[in-house]
Structure 1
């Protein structure tokens, strides 16, 4: 194992292992459209169910961040994981569109409560200088699990959709067991009314976070186009769905193979320049999709944005953790996760609308411009972030 991950506490490795198990169970969502069609649900009814699924990714982070600070990281993770398992069963047995939409909302909401609590727990357990590496390791676990799920999902779906639900629910319960039996939550500062302990006011009053989160959101929106608009581009090039599957595999292999070594090389460098450079690579790779019309062209674009993804791994969450007061880490990570959810939702709506309505070129080159401008703007916050984090370190000392 590269030196960048050595020295991390056991809790981080436990969360790493849990993230692999949990992500291996991320099977139902990618195949949900096929399941709905198999049950005779088509057209606007599919959009209704998928819309409910997307809404949960906005509701869950806000709830998860709040609960993480109120009742604790471990209880919040357990609520989310057990709730996910219950929702899997509800979704599979749901008799109609409305009940499926309600189950999909519960599923995504419960699942999205977990990351803010897990990220806050990492911040509680790791000193500032090691947080990027801890978050990068966690991200690596997610990608390992995703790679396995990509292979496993197709096999299980061919033998019955019920297997997807069974594995999803089972993986959530296994992770919940790990959280309940292996994780010990460090002592933390309880939120108080004086420090904004009643809700997200503490985040909304933080002017630096209000500048940083939208810029991160733009970068996350650009990255989310790789999941949303790339399949449309592959289809419009006359290529088969198998090509998109192969491109996803290229991304997974690159991230899993390179993440530990790239983190080892970059972890000693200043975070914001690395974040800006990696985000610029992602934007450039996404824009190259607009020039691709063959498998080779698409592979080149995927390699470019995958390298950017590896470079920025863990940095954004680490920045948010460093800026958060000790008693508000859950809500700060909840706000960051909510930004992530909003970016994905915007890619599904605005991104697809631009692609189909205005034209693919407007989307790809607009994404490049937005990504580069956001990277430059984040660099412009470098002094303010440094002053804030250094001041916090002085106070802690």
Structure 2
């Protein structure tokens, strides 16, 4: 071990909540010296995410990551979370999948500029700030329920994810730490559930709420639902037919009812049913030029976005009105999140259409329409959480799909939308 190595100390809290500020200070013992730092972690799929930066120690031999601008690396400005939100899988931008509520472990390594490992440190960021109970539900309702230990009269929330089949346990755990009973609900893709988003009955969500209402620690008069993407469509449809919910949050939401979907491909069946009647839906039509564009991007290995195809297919205002989600029937305050750079669907267009439909809504003074400038599809809560690596693309051996935003913007929105979510729920539940 070199003399330099024995002097170095990495000061970081070894176990902390995901929501706590991240403080990393390195005592190098060498003033005005350049060092290379790497940060590594794994997501739920086992993909290794890494970021790199070169820092120069100050006149006292210290590096404070919160105030020190990198000399070079994966991010450029002074940002104490830059080493986290900029992480990627090698040179690829992969979707960072962290839906489980297990702690995320980071490994920090410090090197000399000639590549010698000088120091390393591991630390955890947890989703649970206080004693939280987790119950796995596997019978009539499939999902994971989180709630604070030894607390009663809890407001209760259901979270439903999008077409990736996400069961947002990590988001549910964070909210449970704020004093809620939260059910991360699966509605397809799990044992005992439909394979894809086809003929999902709204009664399934209602059954999940009945389960929550039966709990002795739940306040039956304080219920809410949160959905992302296709889950937002489900949340809005459910709330438009059931008056029991007192707050609705929809992120990256559509304003219209779309067809079913299996393996990310649209089907000719309805996605949702109510009282055994399938909802009619707006069928997105692909033209020959759209197929050509897709294969052109595939052959040239260029990032592909389907947003122009989606926008082109949504020009029929009569059909848009015919298949619109009747948000005006929701008897509760509504908060909508959308990013202006969403490449999955035109979320800004949908937000503005719902805003118009809710102009004379009974809760118009409480409704919030939050448009995050430059943000992508996976930017706002619950699909994105504060202080984690951010998703802008998904790359594999053949294709890169673009979801929108930048890592920095999406990271800022993750924090903003979390704060906005907590404030909205505390106000209305």
Higher relative helix content: 1
Does the alignment reach a TM-score above 0.5? no
Length-normalised TM-score, structure 1: 0.23
Higher relative strand content: 2
Q: Which has the higher contact order (CA 8 A, sep 6+)?
A: 1
Length-normalised TM-score, structure 2: 0.22
